[in-house]
Every structure is written in C-alpha cells, then in structure tokens.
Structure 1
C-alpha cells in the first residue's frame, strides 16, 4: 500500500507539493523549485527501491544486481533525464507560444507517467504485472498530468481567484463519482473478491481505487458548499479549487478504467 501511495500520489503531485510549499513561504517556484522537485522525486524513487527490497527480501548484493537490470532502473533514469531536460529547456519554453508550450509540457508529463508505470510495476513485483490492476492508476495519472499541464496556460484565467471551474463540474462529479464508487465497491464486490489473492497489485489497487474515489467525492462536496457564496480570492481559495479539480479528474478516471478493466478481465479466484 505504501508503494502505491508514494508513487501514484506523491510522485504525481510532487511538483504541486513543492510549489504549494514555496507559495506558502512566499517564494517563487522558478529558480530552486524545479531542483526541489527533482530532489523530491529522487527520494521517492529511492524509497520505492527500499520497499521493493522489503517485499522481495533478497540478499543485498543479489537485490542490487537485480535492481540495476530491472524496470526500476529504467524508470529511475527516465525520471532524472526528464527533469534535467525540463530544467535546461525552461527558458526556451517560456519564449514559446501557448500551444507549443502545452505540447512540450504534455510530452514531459507522459515521460513522467511512463517512469511511474515502470517504478510501480517493479515495486509490486515482476509477475502478473498487467493482471495486477496497474493500468487504471496509469490512466488516471495521465489524465491528471494533462489537466495539470493545461491549468496555468488555459484554465487559470482568473489570476488570484478561484472562479475558473464551474460549480456544475463539481456537482456532476459528486453524482458520477458516487455511482462509480458504488459500482466498484458494492455491485462488483471488487475489494472482497481480490482480498484473498497473493498478488500484491491486486491487493493494493482496489483499496487505492475506492479510497481515492472517496477523497475525490469529498473534495467535490467542499467546492459545492461554497459555490454560491460569491467570488473567492487568495492563495487558499486557488489551491483548494486546483486540488479539487485534479483529484476529482484523477479519481473518476481511475474508477471508470477500473470498471472497464473488470469487464474485460477474468474473475479472480478467492483462496
């Protein structure tokens, strides 16, 4: 469970976490911000290796040799190289048009998602990877990365105020996420059917899916509570809207993909 949260949550939102910390302390993200994100992601990658070692319980020397030749090494290399490319081209990208900048941001985002997929599948084990429900999390991460890339140049037009996302969006999200949550958690009895399997991915993925759907639903409700109270400006209001937007988008994407994945895969057996 810790590996999934460290990768899917912390790795996906590492740049947002760093930027939020800098905003709260009154610092600009440009400058030290990208390097702090790189350092944060490197720590997460190292933590993933430690978790993988704990799961496999192999001798240290054997584990290191296996780690270097595994998906983990490729994912770690993609993380570092992509960060360095993003930092080195920041000035050039700032002088590009909106469309070109968005496409480059999405390219970097897709590379990060690919790295996360490699790290996640490596941490959960090398066997039965795509039968371990990793795909819904990857799809959800792609959606949230695209939404994040579009936020500043396209969506965030009300600078300093949280009036960019319609309250209808959050209203619809509360209804749709609730239905998806019921479908995944109750009608299909997803968590109960996978609880007895020995595959770590199948044990972790359903728990994460249900939990993140609940978080997305709660955030959508918080946006509806203050929807009719007038304009909301300030750092807290903007971050509240942004977090609610990206989390609900990711939660719904993971939930819908999980439902589709259930329909096209065989039923797990309970031991």
Structure 2
C-alpha cells in the first residue's frame, strides 16, 4: 500500500519533468531553425558590415571574422542539438553528418575569403548553392532528422519522425538557395556604385527640372539599381502567398503536429513578413532615391530578403502539393518524451 502511494505521489513529478523536458526541447528546436536561417545564412553580411564600419578589409580580418562567426554560431547550434538529442534519449545521433557539414562550412569560408577579386561567376553561384544545401543539412541533423529520408522511401517508413522533420526544412533550404543567388546577383549584376540617395544639391537641381527631365535624370542616376517596380510587386505578392498557404492549404494547422514543423512554419512566416516589411519600407520614400531606398544596405537587404521570402513561400506551396495528403495529418510521436 505504501509502495502504491509512493508511485502515485511520484507520477505528477514525473509528468511535470516530461513536460518541462518537452518544452526545453521545443525551444531548442525553434532556436536551431532561427539561428541557422537568420544568423548563419547571413554571416557574411554581418561580418562585412562590421569590417566596413571598422574600416578593415584585409584577408586576415575576413578569415578571423567569417570563420570565427560561423564557428561560434555552429558551436551554439551544436549545443542545442545535444540538448534535443538528450531530451529524446540519443544525444550522439547523426554526429558524423554534423561534423562533415561543419567541416564543409569552414572550407567554403576559407575558399571564399582567399578567392581573388576577379573570379568566374559560376564559382559564386556554385558556392552559394552548396552553402545553402549545407545549411539545410545542418538544420536537419541538428533537429535529429536523418537527411537520407529525403531520398529513401524505406527510411521514411522506418523513421516517420525523421521524415516529418526533414520535410519541414526543405522549403527553407530552397528559399535560402534563392536568397544566396539573389545576393550573388546583387553583387555581380547591379552597380554597387549607383547613387541610391541624392544629396541636397543634386536633389534640388533635379527638382527644378520639368517632369519629363526629372524622370530621365532619375533613370540615368539610378541605372544599375533594383527596379522600383520590383518592390511594388513584392508588396502585393507576399501577402497573397501567405493567404494561399495559410487558408487554402491549412499550412499552419498542419504545422502544429511536430516541433520542427512548428519551428519551420514560424521561420517561414518570419522571413516572408520581414521581406514584406522591408519592401513596404521603400514606399514612403518614393523619389528620395533609386526605388525609394535609403541606401545600399536598405536596397540590398530588401532585395535579398524579399527574394528569399517569395521563394520560401512558393517552395512551401509546391512542397505541400508534393508531400501532403489533403485533410490528413500525419501522427507524430515527437511530443512523447
């Protein structure tokens, strides 16, 4: 009788511990997705901004900054991966995948820093695609999802939880690829020296011209910048994508079943919302610069994040059509620790 009472008294404590462990695991999953999507994938931009502000551009500074930043972020993600694994009873799972992807990242960082200024465009494109794929692999592995389930029906059947996590990440990977390619296109195809914001004297001079000459002057000054029509279209397209994904495909209801799916859904909405906000931020400044942007960083971030947001939304739509059955949620054991 005493033993039964003890077991009864112990059950609430065990249940509370399970709930606490699950909540910690869920927070770690969310942190992994956001760190890799908004921290690691934009590491080169963060380092460039810091070095530009510090007036440093030498190779050593780039090596220390870029490699150091990526290693720091991935080390933190590695700790979160361990926490997720411990919560699920297997902290050492997929370690070989993790360290392989980690090594590839460091090698790519060193290669990009040591590349001469004049190098073929295909190197930039290839490194962008490879790096985005590695980001996806790191995300899958950090979430304790086997990347091979993406290519093997047998593995998907044997490990449905892994498949649920891996498939949740795929649209984010495709969106990241588009973002990297957009960043490469911005650097290689647009004129970085374009006068994006007119100074006071030039603005007054242009304002004194007849309307036709003003338009011609802006077209000449802003040649090589992103077209203003692009930002206007983004403001219309992203809300339409969000409505289509959320209402027509019940994406957000379906994405509540597993922690990685919830994190991917939150990241999808976040990147699309940030892209929309940046695009909207160009509208009040019409006439103040090329496409209503306030400077290089405003134009660059708006262009890249908007492309990433649209690509992520489109990839999510197509991926839902490919892997989801209508009105059928796949049960998950992820919430049982």
Pick which of 150-159 and 238-247 moved more: 150-159
Task: State the distance in 1 between where 2:241 and 2:142 align.
Answer: 28
Match of 2:80 among 35, 51, 67: 51
Match of 1:167 among 203, 218, 228: 228
Task: State the distance in 1 between where 2:133 and 2:311 align.
Answer: 17
8 Å contact kept, 1:185–1:210 = no
How much does 1:84 deviate?
Answer: 2.1
Task: State the distance in 1 between where 2:321 and 2:330 align.
Answer: 18
8 Å contact kept, 1:75–1:114 = no
- 1:269 matched residue in structure 2: 329
Structure 1 residue ranges without an equivalent (≥5): none
8 Å contact kept, 2:143–2:260 = yes
Task: State the distance in 2 between where 1:259 and 1:217 align.
Answer: 18
- 1:202 matched residue in structure 2: 261
Match of 1:180 among 235, 238, 241: 241
How much does 1:207 deviate?
Answer: 1.4
How much does 1:227 deviate?
Answer: 2.4
Task: State the distance in 2 between where 1:84 and 1:216 align.
Answer: 30
Q: Map 1:168-247; keep pairs closer than 5 Å.
A: 168-195=229-256, 197-198=257-258, 200-230=259-289, 237-247=295-305
SS in 1 for 2:193: coil
How much does 1:22 deviate?
Answer: 2.0
8 Å contact kept, 1:167–1:224 = no
TM-score of the two chains, using structure 2 as the length reference: 0.70
SS in 1 for 2:295: helix
Pick which of 10-19 and 103-112 moved more: 103-112
Tell me whether 1:25 sits opposite 2:51 in the alignment: no
**Alignment length (residue pairs):** 258
8 Å contact kept, 2:63–2:110 = no
How much does 1:34 deviate?
Answer: 3.8
- 1:132 matched residue in structure 2: 167
TM-score of the two chains, using structure 1 as the length reference: 0.85
CA root-mean-square deviation? 2.6
The structure number with the bigger radius of gyration is 2
Tell me whether 1:63 sits opposite 2:91 in the alignment: yes
SS in 1 for 2:50: helix
How much does 1:232 deviate?
Answer: 8.9
How much does 1:30 deviate?
Answer: 4.8
| Residue-by-residue CA offset, 1:233-252 (whole Å, 9 max, x unaligned) | 99x61101100000000000
Task: State the distance in 2 between where 1:53 and 1:264 align.
Answer: 32
| Residue-by-residue CA offset, 1:93-150 (whole Å, 9 max, x unaligned) | 3244xxx1x2111222222112212110001122115653211111111111111112
Task: State the distance in 2 between where 1:86 and 1:270 align.
Answer: 42
